[in-house]
Amino acid sequence: MKADVVAALFVVFLGFFISIMSISLGVGSFERDEESSGMFPFATGLGLFICGLFQALGSWRYPDLVSWPSCKGALKAAELLGILIVYVILFRGIGYTLATALFLLFSSLLLGARNWWGILSISIGTALLCWYILGEMLGIPLSAGPFGF
Amino acid sequence: MNTLRGIVKLIAISFMAMIFFLVGTIQAMAVSEYPTKPISLIVPAAPGGGMDVAARLISPYTAKVLGKPVNIVYRPGASNTIGTLDVLTAPADGYTLLMDAHSASSLMAAAIADLPFDWQKRTWIGRLCLDPVFYAVKSDSKWKTLADIAAAAKKNPQEFTWGCGGAGGISTISLSTFLLAAGVSLSGTKRVVFTGGAPALTALAGGHIEFAAQQASEVQSLASAGKIRLIATTLEKRSEDFPEVPTTKEAGFPQVTITGWQGISGPPGLPEHIVNVWVKTLKDAASDPEFLDRAKKVGKVISVLGPEAMKSMVMKQYEEYLYVLTQVGLRK
Amino acid sequence: MISIDFLLQGFGYALNPFNLLMAFLGAIFGTLVGVLPGIGPTAGIAILLPLTSWLNPTPAIIMLSGIYYGAMYGGSTTSILVNVPGEVSSVVTALDGYQLAKQGKAGVALAMAAISSFVGGTLGLIGLTFFAPPLAEAALIFGPPEYFGLMCLALSVVVSLAGRRLPKGLISAGVGLFLGSIGQDPILGNARFTFGSLKLLGGIDFVAVVVGLFAVSEVMINAEKVGAVVYQKITRLYPTLQELRQSLGAMLRSTLTGFFPSLLPGCAPGPISFLAYDIERRFSRHPEMFGKGAIEGVIAPEGANNAATSGGFVPMFSLGIPTSSALAVLLSALMIYGLKPGPMLFKERPDFIWTVIASMYIGNVMLLILNLPLVGIWARIIMIPYHYLAPLVLVFCFIGTFSIRNNLFDVWVAILFGLIGYLMHKLKYPTAPLVLAMILGPMLEQSVRQSLTISGGSVYIFISRPIALGFLILATFAVILSVWSRLRLKPSNLPQSGTD
């Protein structure tokens, strides 16, 4: 499958870049006083380069049946990731509790929840619970929103 | 129905606005009396280290004196830079302070050449304690004094194996300073770097390296267990726990006086009245016998310095460390 | 034996109600703390350390040690239920445990994890009781070359984790090695692959990567088919007696695998659990089941990591060397009381040390008694409709990764690796090798460089030291064996990796 070959080629490039960057860190040798930060990553980069080539060749000749998702499915996964990202961005701005409640609300809706009582109670309840247990009891510094919680 | 919704919305919004203003007013009133809420003492390292122990010494004492909790918050990462930067960029209201140490100021700046922030831009409050360094060898080693080690290293540097607990840490500085003072050319020796004091001392006890230097709390157990022998200490006078260990001065190396230290600092521009509160607390702690006793148990030597003295100490150390690290080739 | 007398005396003190209560509280708090990915026993012990101000040393240390144990029990719960490892050592448990949960066997997995933990922990304690001093001495023989050998052996597990697709598995491991080297060079201290970012200088946190790779990606994968059944109905809550009998061998083997390496400072429980997992797979009659829900895949890491917990106390009490950061904090607690670990501790304060050890035995029993009935409750949690469960899991992941260093950066890492894990799953790249290589990489690199410094650049050091050589030979042997068995068996019988 094309995606597989592309991925393998990506690995080849990755290995190449890692090797190049390692050389700038200094590769050195086994001799005393010449050890250097780049030695190990260089070996890693080289390994990735070689394995990537092998894999690209293998994927091209014997396509591994990769389970590529349907458009609709992938979209759902992407939307979920999107909501998660928004949650993290909002966290500092509007405070942990509110951000968490909103996140729970929207992601449950996305995943197919329809019972409004359930959604609201779980969203708000969990958010408040987390704030108390984690913020107050365990002392994790969660941002407080404009209301102080 | 829409009107009802509209009214509810209006009430909700005005209620929220009211609370917002209330909270703001209360905060404004709070400035005059410090502290009015819990203080966060940021430890820029992982729990269990020297800074942590010092933080645990001072925070309950301060909390009792000031009447508000002093919470220890760990923010480890990147050789103490992440946590330090967090405090230096925090609001200067006295509620976010730094558990400062050599590794978060002088040593950090000397070791890392391109720090992305100005490490000197902070409010120095005070030094609390010293963390003396002990030089050690394996218990059955033929070397008995620092002079022995110096001679051996000079004679055969190619085979001299010494171990540091951490790439640019206090042990590296202590060992390098001593070896430089002894006239040993560092580049010919075998410097083995470990991730921390414990692995380095374990390797010493197992005979994989020949010479190490770590702080009091780290060497205590192995020395009592008889697995390693303490050769010298960088304190002014001999340690009470190990009275048979000479000081570096007595051993003939008076210029080798590296000690770790811990103290308190704050973001730049901290109001003077807040600084004074802390300075007084530190001074009181230093004359409180119970506090001194607890400090002794964990291997810290209480030696309080005020803000000015602390700043000049740090600057002096920075110059020293800069020199040593450049010699060792560690400055990046 | 003198030890027995002292131990019995210790039990006498340990069984007093207050000490029992302390052990219980510690175990509970530890379990809670172990469940959260970001807060581990280190932070848990650190949080409760202020209590040492007004407790006597014995009950305080009993409670703090209880936290350490409890965390090992707690970490596996979320690994199994929702693929969120609470501790580094629980990562391996998730490989098969989560698959079992999806098959409706969450109860069995949880119960077996608890029982195996109990066996491992208790047997480890017996080792501590009778053999502590000589074992601690023996551990000193391990120097950098020996560590290197051991790490190579652990790395050879990558080959079996790669399953059918060796090149992809190696690629995954290579990426893991690279990720582990981002940050400060552990020996020279300069920045590697950080592009000037201070956050990257601190390195990419392993827990954040695992949470993203395992949990976040799993939720994304399940999100694709909205309304599809993720967890099958629970068929059985507890293992049968026959299953228990069959598992005994696995439990004993994993105890040994876990106990001995844990005597070495800096030997993290992570690689130990991978090693135990691999050893079980080789002994198993159905190696292809590993990664798809083999119960031994849960027993092995759990037994090993609890044995390692007990083993960790050996160098700690005998020599004062903490083998992990949690023990380091515990050590500072001991010092606050003026109790200096070492042979002096055993001689001067036998009442203290043996009471603590006795209460550890009791603590293990308590945790078993606590966790077994809870299995029913835990297993039912995953019966919550997935559209509620998944968001809750994500909130949990957020808190967990944030609390690692109180830094949002780690949360972003988790999200990024959620996406990467999703792609890896679609492209059939196994994730376990990446995880293993990421932990092992730095250790491997450090021990190589330290060894070469000691030897002055000569590779001969690895051959001249018998223990190191032994491990290297074992590692080579293991790799050859894995590759050979792969070539020999028919493709359908090959061991699968967890992402298939």
The nearest CA of chain B is from the CA of A30 a distance in Å of 13
pLDDT of A135 > 50? The answer is yes
**pLDDT for C428:** 86
Cβ contact, residue pair A77, C221, below 8 Å: yes
* A51 close to A36: Cβ distance less than 8 angstroms: no
pLDDT (tens digit, 9 = 90+) per residue, C323-365?
Answer: 887 888 888 788 777 787 777 777 788 888 888 888 888 888 8
Verify whether the Cβ–Cβ distance A64 to C165 is below 8 Å. Answer: yes
Report the number of secondary-structure helices (H) and strands (E) in chain A: 5, 0
Q: State which residue of chain B sits closest to A31, comparing Cα positions.
A: B190
Chain C residues with beta carbon closer than 8 angstroms to that of A46: none
Interchain contact A24–C (C-beta under 8 A): no
**Interchain contact C453–B (C-beta under 8 A):** yes
Give the mean pLDDT of chain B: 84
Higher pLDDT, B24 or A61: A61
Give chain C positions within 8 Å (CB) of B209: 454
Tokens of C55: 């407790």
Long-range contacts of residues A88-93, Cβ cutoff 8 Å, at least 24 apart: A88/C398, A88/C408, A88/C411, A88/C412, A88/C415, A91/A143, A91/C408, A92/A143, A92/C408, A93/A145
- From the number of C-beta atoms within 10 Å of its C-beta (0-12, 13-18, 19+), residue C165 rates as buried
Q: Which of C385, C427, C445 sits opposite A40 (nearest CB)?
A: C445
* Mean predicted lDDT score pLDDT of chain A: 81
Q: Is the pLDDT of residue B265 over 80?
A: yes
Measure in Å the smallest separation between the Cα of C47 and chain A Cα atoms: 8
Residue B12's pLDDT is what? 61
Of C245, C290, C230, nearest to C94 by C-alpha is C290
| Between C308 and B225, the higher pLDDT residue | C308
Q: What is the pTM assigned to this prediction?
A: 0.83
- Geometric angle at alpha carbon B210, from B208 and B211, rounded to 5°: 125
List the single best residue of C319, C347, C349 to mutate versus B (max B Cβ within 10 A).
C319
> What integer pLDDT is reported at residue B8 of this predicted model?
65
The residue behind tokens 């999100």 is C223
Alpha carbon distance C452, A40 (integer Å): 13
Spans of all domains in chain C: 2-493
Considering only alpha carbons, which residue of chain A is nearest residue B19? A147
Note whether C199 contacts B226, CB cutoff 8 Å. no
Higher pLDDT among residues B299 and A84, named by residue? A84
**A23/B224 Cα distance (integer angstroms):** 46
The per-residue pLDDT for C493 is 43
Q: Would you call A141 and B19 a contact, using CB atoms and an 8 Å cutoff?
A: no
Q: Where are the domains of chain A?
A: 2-61, 71-137
Q: Residue A113 is nearest to which of C220, C387, C403, comparing CB atoms?
A: C387
Among candidates A79, A84, A78, which has minimal Cα distance to A103? A84
Q: Provide the 3-class DSSP secondary structure of residue B162.
A: strand
Of A33, A139, A146, the CB nearest to B20: A146
Q: Rounded to an integer, what distance in angstroms lies between the CA atom of residue C313 and that of residue C328?
A: 11
Out of A83-97, B231-245, C335-349, pick the least confident.
Answer: C335-349
Residues of C in contact with B195 (CB under 8 A): 186, 266, 446
Give the residue-averaged pLDDT of B107-114: 83
Report the gap between the CA of C337 and the closest CA in chain A (Å): 24
CB atoms within 10 A of CB C224: 18
The radius of gyration of chain A from alpha carbons, rounded to an integer in Å, stands at 24
CA distance C451 to A147: 57
Can you identify the CATH homologous superfamily of domain B39-129+259-328? Bordetella uptake gene, domain 1 (3.40.190.150)
Is it the case that residue B9 has pLDDT exceeding 70?
A: no
CA-CA distances (angstroms) from residue C55 to C50, C68, C333, C336? Answer: 9, 18, 12, 12
Tokens of B220: 């205590």
pLDDT of residue A65: 66
Which C positions 164-203 lie with beta carbon below 8 A of chain B?
A: 183-191, 196, 198-199, 201-203
- Which letter does DSSP use for residue C359 in this model? H
Determine the residue among B21, B23, B75, B193 to mutate to test chain A binding: the one whose Cβ has the most chain A Cβ atoms within 10 Å: B23
Determine whether the interchain pair B220/C450 forms a contact, defined as Cβ–Cβ distance below 8 Å. no
pLDDT at A145: 65
CB B83, CB B42: distance < 8 Å: yes
Q: What is the DSSP string of B263-291?
A: EEEE-TT--HHHHHHHHHHHHHHHT-HHH
What Cα–Cα distance (Å) separates residue A9 from each residue in A21, B32, B290? 18, 64, 66
Q: Spell out which residues of chain A touch residue C419, defining contact as CB-CB under 8 Å.
A: 81
**CA–CA separation, C159 and C165 (whole Å):** 9
Give the residue among A49, A145, A148, A36 at the shortest CA–CA distance from A92. A145
Can you tell me the mean pLDDT for B276-289?
90
Structure token digits, residue B300 = 């810290």
Predicted pLDDT of residue B28: 47
Query: Between residues A28 and C262, which one has the greater pLDDT?
Result: C262
Asked if the model's pLDDT at residue A116 lies above 90, the reply is no
Q: Which of A24, A30, A32 to mutate to test the interface with B (most CBs of B within 10 A)?
A: A32
pLDDT by residue (tens digit) across C371-414? 888 887 887 778 888 888 888 888 888 888 888 777 888 899 99
Tell me which H or E stretch contains B170. Answer: helix B170-181
Residue of chain C nearest A51, judged by CA positions: C167
Residue C494: its pLDDT value, please?
43
The Cα C116–Cα C112 span in angstroms is 6
Cβ–Cβ of C449/A35 closer than 8 Å? yes
**Strand (E) positions, chain A?**
none
Choosing among A33, A140, A149, which should be mutated to test the B contact, i.e. which has the most B CBs within 10 A?
A: A33
Please indicate whether, in this complex, the C-beta atoms of C332 and B221 are within 8 angstroms of each other.
no
Nearest to C457 among A30, A36, A139 (CB): A30
Q: Which of B20, B23, B187 sits opposite A33 (nearest CB)?
A: B187
What does the pLDDT read at residue B332?
Answer: 53
Count Cα atoms within 13 angstroms, Cβ side, for C151: 26
Q: Which residue of A has its CA nearest to B74?
A: A140
- Quote the tokens at residue C284: 């198993």
Ranges under pLDDT 70 in chain C: 1-2, 52-53, 489-500
Cα–Cα dist B127/B144, whole Å: 34
Q: Omega into C41 within 30° of 0, i.e. cis?
A: no
Q: Which amino acid is at C192?
A: R
CB contact under 8 A, A54 and C168: no
Q: Do B71 and A146 touch (CB under 8 A)?
A: no
Tell me how close the Cα of A120 comes to any Cα of chain C, in angstroms. 11
For residue C33, give Cα distances in angstroms to C30, C36, C39, C356, C468: 5, 6, 6, 21, 37
HEC secondary structure over B32-68: CCCCCCCEEEEECCCCCCHHHHHHHHHHHHHHHHHCC
Taking 70 as the threshold, does the pLDDT of residue A1 lie above it?
Answer: no
Q: What angle do CA C353, C73, C422 make, to 5 degrees?
A: 140
CATH of B132-233, one of 3.50.30.60, 3.40.190.10, 3.10.20.90, 3.40.640.10: 3.40.190.10
DSSP class of residue C406 equals T
Alpha-carbon span C428 to C424, nearest angstrom: 6
Helix axes B50-66, C325-336, angle to 10 degrees: 50
Q: What angle do CA C237, C240, C246 make, to 5 degrees?
A: 130
Show the CA angle centred on residue C488, arms to residues C484 and C491, nearest 5°.
115
Q: Indicate the angle between helix axes C106-139 and C91-102, nearest 10 degrees.
A: 170
Tell me the C-alpha distance between C46 and B48, whole Å.
8
> What distance in Å separates residue C499's CA from the closest CA in chain A?
11
- What is the C-alpha to C-alpha distance for residues B1 and A134, in angstroms, rounded to an integer? 40
| Interface chains of chain C (3 or more CB pairs under 8 Å) | A, B
Contact list, A148 vs chain B (CB under 8 Å): 19, 23
Yes or no, beta carbons of A139 and B71 under 8 Å apart? yes
Cα distance between residue B83 and residue B77, in whole Å:
7
- E strand segments, C63-218: 183-184, 191-192
